[in-house]
Structure 1
Amino acid sequence: MDLPRYAAYEAVAAVHRDDAYANLVLPTILRDAGLTGRDAAFATELTYGTLRHLGTLDAILTAAAGRDVQRIDPPVRDALRLGAYQLLYTRVPAHAAVSSTVDLVRAVGPGATGFANAVLREVAGKDADAWVRQLAPPMESDPIGHLALAYSHPQWIVRAFAEALGGDLGETTRLLIEDNERPPVHLCARPGLADPVELADEVGGAPGAFSPYAVYLSGGAPGDLPALAQGRAHVQDEGSQLVANALAEAPLDGPDGRWLDLCAGPGGKSGLLGALVAERGGRLTAVEVAEHRARLVAQATRDLPVTVLNTDGRAVGDHPKLPVDHFDRVLVDAPCTGLGALRRRPESRWRRQPSDLPPLTRLQRELLAAALRAVRPGGVVAYVTCSPHTVETHVTVTESARRAGVPVDFVDARPLLPAGMPGLGDGPTVQLWPHRHGTDAMFLAVLRRG
């Protein structure tokens, strides 16, 4: 049995069988199998690549097998997905991809080896572009359907991306392509604790393009870096750094020492905000409703002036440590569909559904309303989502501002980001994009309470 391929199979099977998350199960699988270096990298590539391209792979396997892929026995189905990914999207020689996958099927689905061999040889008869030409609806008559199959995203997500990009299908295509690329690892050098240039030298990386705290890693396991164990840095997408820092950069009259992170788990933004508020002699209150995530926030902010509250962020006015009209700066990093981070969580695109939106947007509005109660007159609130869906971004923030019950003005967020950043739009809100900025698709709106 080929161990890297079997490790990838175990990870993909766990995602589909147990609703597991690849980034959580794969490290344990690799460790238990004793895989390191190139073998671990190959298993990782197979796992994430298969999950990203699942929609296209399933359409091709359905055509090659002559039956709906959902009617294939699940262990055999996952093995075939891995084999088809190798044939269509990697440089693995066809004979190696077919023979290794048949070996895998022999182990996980005895009796199906002949079927697997026939299906994979059919898949190998065309390259990915030829399969897409055969199976995808024409771009001219059904552009959303074509892009969904060609670039392996559900149609409703492609439609949401296109709407957020003003209907520009060329740019939507570039975004979908970027979503299927392996994302880089970004570190945040905590201000006052680490210099990003020195940290880049220390870890063999490079300073980030936009965030003053970002460091790009070229590879390796970031969890092994001393800077993380010492609390001088943490793993955080550059887009998340930028939107958190924008809150700290917003002009403010009056006191500036009482900050609030209303949805703090797992703690990345709290770590950056805690370091920034420490430089100003203030304190951050970090609120997280889930107990295990509150523990992660406490761990991420140890030795920083941060108070962690394990409570619901909507409890402003009811919780003694969440008084109304009190905080100078408030961050609402709202729970959302996560459509802006599909590069990093490839299985999410297949789990999320349009029906997820109504309860999420209701929660987003309730949390933003709580933030506007918590902030003092003259203070600022940053509303952030890792989703570009207009219902979670513009609709939520405009409706919340309209219903706030207190005077609220939009602050132009563009000057709060580094000078020279391209593609920030017309304001006052900002939408970051993987294909424009190399970040997750973070949305930012900054509101000032009158």
Structure 2
Amino acid sequence: MSDARSGSGGPRGQHDGGGQRRGPRQKSRTAPAQRSRQGSPARRIALAVLRAVGDGAYANLELPKALRHARLDGRDAAFATELTYGTLRMQGFYDAVIAEATRRPTSRLDGGVLDVLRMGIHQVLAMRVPDHAAADQAVGLARSVAGPGAASLVNAVMRRVSESSVEEWRERVVPTEPLAERLAIEHSHPVWIIKALRQALIGHGLATPETGDAAIEELLASHNVPAPVSLVARPGLADVDELLGAGAHVGRWSPFAAELDGGDPGAIEAVREGRAAVQDEGSQLLALALAAVPLDAHEDGSTERWLDLCAGPGGKAGLLAAEALAQGADLVANDVSDHRTDLVRQTLRPALDAAQAAGRHLEVRTGDGREVGVDEPERYDRVLVDAPCTGLGALRRRPEARWRRQPSDLVGLGPLQRDLLISAIEATRPGGVIAYATCSPHLSETTFVVRDVVKKRDDVEQVDARELLDQVATGDLTDLGAGPAAQMWPHIHGTDGMFLAVLRKRG
């Protein structure tokens, strides 16, 4: 479940519903021992999800389960969602506030207490929660996770934080220079990600060294705005009008897209049945672009064969399967792990049933994508390599990734990405096409991978992916970079930061 538009994505001054500055802040006069012992259900859920994320879980998987288990919906679910995702997004800024307020590094605080403080500060500095209510609830949560001593500490910190506005806290904890360190606190991103994304903006041709500072600040700010819930109506299985009738509105770029302003997508029948799904519009366009590349027909009149080499968890495979059925093609959806293959099979269930009824071949299987080129040379007409990556293009939807990813991750991913692309080329017939895609704009995962592979081969050439994306988009899709590869951006296109390179294998 993607995070809905349930509140602010970052720090802001507190205002009432009419946009006016609130009156004097209210401090809690209730003794810690008399306050809520556990916190409200929505806050308890948010804390449980944050604790799970700290242990390696993913918020987009944990939060929906927790909400369903607690049977929370409506305003309470929206509150828990904003509290969870907002706290994760602005963790870097809140940790700087906590360190200043406690006069100690956050590493010396108990993990549960630290999450309680982050949540409490988010309510005070970024949500319309009265200061005394945020403090009372935080004290109750702290007592439940770490005892009376922690509750007293949290009470003192919350009082101290509520004495100043978010603007005053920014002035206090955000350094003026150097740039990366300032942006790291102000926009709550690790320094290494800021530097890598700034270089990516320049490397992909969206900025110059002179305009890079302004461009990176705009990009970072967009990561702290909740992403819309994008839906896809899988062609032949659902229609966009069905999604619109369920309360969504028309998407921006994809002919099969719709957007929800909030709520649970699973409440929509088409989504619940797998005929539609949650999928970013950039992700939709990548699959549609691959399906739209003109190919010469087989001389023997045989059916086109398509391959999704790294299909899990199944978003792009679901749209590719629908397109394959519409074009009379067969599709193999492959992934390396049984667990991810099960996810693909689950999301493709309606397409599998439709393929069986139409006499088409749609297969979901487990296998190492690096070996497909050797095992099935020149077998496929269209191959998608949705390569494993750092996910730095989806930081709006996966805010915990900014704190979890490390520069060392690139060391292991680079060789794997190159091996998968090479395998895809080997598995493609002469005249066929390969789409290499990542949800990351990092140059080491995008341009450098394609360049290193292509320069060692004389049997492939790059196709202008920008033209293909613009061809399948419903609007005028521009600012995709210098080409021939294409890079989409959250702050420009409103999509995740999707990269696409298209290669044609020479005949």
TM-score by length of 1: 0.95
Match of 1:444 in 2: 500
- What is the one-letter code of the residue matched to 1:164? A
Question: Per-residue displacement from partner, 1:10-43 (whole Å, max 9, x unpaired)?
Answer: 1112211x22211222223223333221111111
Question: Per-residue displacement from partner, 1:217-256 (whole Å, max 9, x unpaired)?
Answer: 1222112321123332121111100011111112222336
Match of 2:152 in 1: 114
Match of 1:12 in 2: 50
Of 348, 353, 360, the residue aligned with 1:301 is 348
Aligned counterparts of 2:304 and 2:458: Cα–Cα separation in 1 = 22
Question: Per-residue displacement from partner, 1:24-64 (whole Å, max 9, x unpaired)?
Answer: 22223223333221111111111111111111111110111
**Which stretch of the first structure deviates more once superposed, 298-307 or 269-278?**
298-307
Query: Kindly tell me: are residues 230 and 76 of structure 1, through their superposed partners in 2, closer, same or farther at Cα, counting changes over 3 Å?
Result: closer
Match of 1:191 in 2: 235
- What is the one-letter code of the residue matched to 2:312? G
RMSD: 1.5
Aligned counterparts of 1:345 and 1:231: Cα–Cα separation in 2 = 23
Look up the SS of the partner of 1:112 in the other structure: helix
Look up the SS of the partner of 1:314 in the other structure: helix
Q: Does 1:136 align with 2:174?
A: yes
Aligned residue runs from structure 1 range 51-90, under 5 A: 51-90=88-127
Match of 2:316 in 1: 269
8 Å Cα contact 1:388/1:441 also seen in 2: yes
Q: Does 1:385 align with 2:438?
A: yes
Query: Kindly tell me: are residues 114 and 299 of structure 1, through their superposed partners in 2, closer, same or farther at Cα, counting changes over 3 Å?
Result: closer
Aligned counterparts of 2:332 and 2:306: Cα–Cα separation in 1 = 6
Aligned counterparts of 1:225 and 1:200: Cα–Cα separation in 2 = 8
TM-score by length of 2: 0.84
Aligned counterparts of 1:182 and 1:316: Cα–Cα separation in 2 = 38
Query: Kindly tell me: are residues 199 and 370 of structure 1, through their superposed partners in 2, closer, same or farther at Cα, counting changes over 3 Å?
Result: same
Shift of residue 327, structure 1, vs aligned partner: 0.9
8 Å Cα contact 2:446/2:499 also seen in 1: yes
Match of 2:488 in 1: 432
**Which stretch of the first structure deviates more once superposed, 222-231 or 75-84?**
222-231
Match of 1:217 in 2: 260
8 Å Cα contact 2:243/2:270 also seen in 1: no
Q: Does 1:3 align with 2:18?
A: no
Of 334, 337, 360, the residue aligned with 1:290 is 337
8 Å Cα contact 1:193/1:232 also seen in 2: yes
Match of 1:423 in 2: 479
Aligned counterparts of 1:275 and 1:12: Cα–Cα separation in 2 = 36
Of 221, 224, 230, the residue aligned with 1:177 is 221
Match of 1:260 in 2: 307
The structure showing larger relative contact order (alpha-carbon pairs under 8 Å, at least 6 residues apart) is 2
Query: Kindly tell me: are residues 105 and 230 of structure 1, through their superposed partners in 2, closer, same or farther at Cα, counting changes over 3 Å?
Result: closer
8 Å Cα contact 1:422/1:436 also seen in 2: no
Aligned counterparts of 2:368 and 2:282: Cα–Cα separation in 1 = 25
Look up the SS of the partner of 2:441 in the other structure: coil
**Which stretch of the first structure deviates more once superposed, 24-33 or 235-244?**
24-33
8 Å Cα contact 1:137/1:145 also seen in 2: yes
Q: Does 1:409 align with 2:461?
A: yes
> Runs of 5+ in structure 1 lacking a partner?
none
8 Å Cα contact 1:199/1:215 also seen in 2: no
Aligned counterparts of 1:36 and 1:193: Cα–Cα separation in 2 = 28
**Which stretch of the first structure deviates more once superposed, 381-390 or 99-108?**
99-108
Match of 1:44 in 2: 81
Segments ≥4 residues shifted beyond 4 Å: none
Of 95, 98, 106, the residue aligned with 2:135 is 98
Q: How many residues align?
A: 442
8 Å Cα contact 1:80/1:116 also seen in 2: yes
